[in-house]
Homo-oligomer: A and B are copies of this chain.
């Protein structure tokens, strides 16, 4: 039996809500409706007739035409051009913990490489006993593992450091996705090459026009990194690194090099462009903090939110959102509807997996008055998601990356939500 941590809707509360506000009610009795029958239940709908659309229609299926607005979106003014740019996962339109492959946000540094797997190679060189080149067929002879991991861009919520800016959780928090990867433990490939004693770092490099590269300490490389070739069961999508991407569980997305073609073993970090001039945290004193790899515990309410207002009147209302931590699992999320005066434990639902997105719900009876909604994640290390003010106290106001502060949505009497910040 499930335990509802929020208030469980009862028939009485549904009826009370409707009576009080004359709003939509979850259960409308047919008896009551007999005078004015609902056309949608009485009439023959067009889809209740044979339409000739069979199993040949879509060998690879697509969403319903009624879901055409559930897409990745970009923010044109945010970056210089749309190619080496970013789009965002429509978190407000999703539920559960799996991100469907077609909706995983994209971040490119030189566009989407369309790599031919027959021509793709993965090379391991540097401080190794034997420099190696693998074809895709070679790699499929190694043991594989399956794990669900979140991938979050270090710049997710970056525009919110200075205050509430982007009006929708797709834009404030949508540089994240969560899929099941199938991949080869990186340590097996490194063992095949043989790491020399001096080898304490690796450099990973992509095959796209950017040749994007990052340094990773050997300890992480030998721990849980994967060379992945599947996401949610099928081949990686081109925009996610087809045919091969690096998976660096819990660490910032920029390190998960796509179209990975080379791994060099060395004795120090490379200080690549993406770990010096970018993806560092500019502190108040003007120093840039680098190598802040782990994504800390974070959460966001996805419904209601600016793109997904409450569309019914007072009464039973479902609040839902997602939470994640690069340090482990999320045993608890708190929700407040009054801007932090009182907090209640949300109900977690779905598998609780290491370094994966978690789904939470909070069911309550809305009285129709304005709300100040926030969520606060606790991770399995005991760490609690901070407020944005607490983050600024420690790291100043120059940062872009690694903003895991608490998000606030203001909801008005009509159910419309807005991005705000409260102190």
A interface residues (Cβ-Cβ under 8 A, vs B): 2, 4, 6, 8-9, 11, 14, 24-31, 33, 38, 40-41, 45, 47-67, 70-74, 81-87, 93-104, 106-108, 110-121, 123, 125, 130-135, 137-148, 179-182, 185, 188, 191-194, 207-209, 211, 229-230, 232-235, 237-239, 242-243, 259, 311-312, 315-318, 320, 347, 349-351, 353, 359, 361, 363
Q: Tell whether, in the assembled complex, residue B54 and residue A83 are in contact, meaning their CB atoms are under 8 Å apart.
A: yes
Q: Which B residues touch A54, using CB under 8 A?
A: 81-85, 108, 111-112
Q: Tell whether, in the assembled complex, residue A234 and residue B146 are in contact, meaning their CB atoms are under 8 Å apart.
A: no
How many of these chains are in the complex?
A: 2
A53 to B70, CA, bound (A): 21
CB of A13, distance to nearest CB on chain B (Å): 10
The contact of A234 among B67, B144, B208, by CB within 8 Å, is B67
CB of A59, distance to nearest CB on chain B (Å): 4
Q: Tell whether, in the assembled complex, residue A52 and residue B111 are in contact, meaning their CB atoms are under 8 Å apart.
A: yes
Nearest 4 interchain pairs by C-beta:
A146-B350, A54-B83, A59-B71, A50-B209
Q: Tell whether, in the assembled complex, residue B61 and residue A237 are in contact, meaning their CB atoms are under 8 Å apart.
A: yes
A30-B123 contact in complex given A230-B95, A361-B144, C-beta closer than 8 Å: yes
What are 10 of the A-B contact pairs (CB < 8 Å)? A11-B194, A26-B134, A52-B111, A59-B73, A67-B234, A70-B234, A100-B101, A143-B347, A144-B361, A148-B351
Q: Which B residues touch A132, using CB under 8 A?
A: 27-30
Q: Tell whether, in the assembled complex, residue A233 and residue B100 are in contact, meaning their CB atoms are under 8 Å apart.
A: yes
A61-B55 contact in complex given A133-B30, A142-B26, A233-B98, C-beta closer than 8 Å: no
Q: Tell whether, in the assembled complex, residue B139 and residue A26 are in contact, meaning their CB atoms are under 8 Å apart.
A: yes
Q: Which B residues touch A49, using CB under 8 A?
A: 209
Q: Which B residues touch A74, using CB under 8 A?
A: 55-56
CB of A14, distance to nearest CB on chain B (Å): 7
Q: Tell whether, in the assembled complex, residue A66 and residue B117 are in contact, meaning their CB atoms are under 8 Å apart.
A: yes
Q: Tell whether, in the assembled complex, residue B98 and residue A53 are in contact, meaning their CB atoms are under 8 Å apart.
A: no
The contact of A67 among B33, B144, B147, B235, by CB within 8 Å, is B235
Q: Tell whether, in the assembled complex, residue B29 and residue A131 are in contact, meaning their CB atoms are under 8 Å apart.
A: yes
A132 to B33, CA, bound (A): 10
Q: Which B residues touch A229, using CB under 8 A?
A: 95
Q: Tell whether, in the assembled complex, residue A96 and residue B138 are in contact, meaning their CB atoms are under 8 Å apart.
A: no
Q: Which B residues touch A29, using CB under 8 A?
A: 130-132
Q: Tell whether, in the assembled complex, residue A133 and residue B28 are in contact, meaning their CB atoms are under 8 Å apart.
A: yes
CB of A353, distance to nearest CB on chain B (Å): 6
CB of A79, distance to nearest CB on chain B (Å): 9
Q: Tell whether, in the assembled complex, residue B47 and residue A72 are in contact, meaning their CB atoms are under 8 Å apart.
A: no
Q: Which B residues touch A243, using CB under 8 A?
A: 64, 66
Q: Which B residues touch A114, using CB under 8 A?
A: 47, 51, 53, 64-65
Q: Tell whether, in the assembled complex, residue B59 and residue A120 are in contact, meaning their CB atoms are under 8 Å apart.
A: no
The contact of A141 among B9, B141, B209, by CB within 8 Å, is B9
A95 to B228, CA, bound (A): 11
Max count, chain B CB within 10 A of own CB: residue among A38, A125, A141: A141
CB of A121, distance to nearest CB on chain B (Å): 5
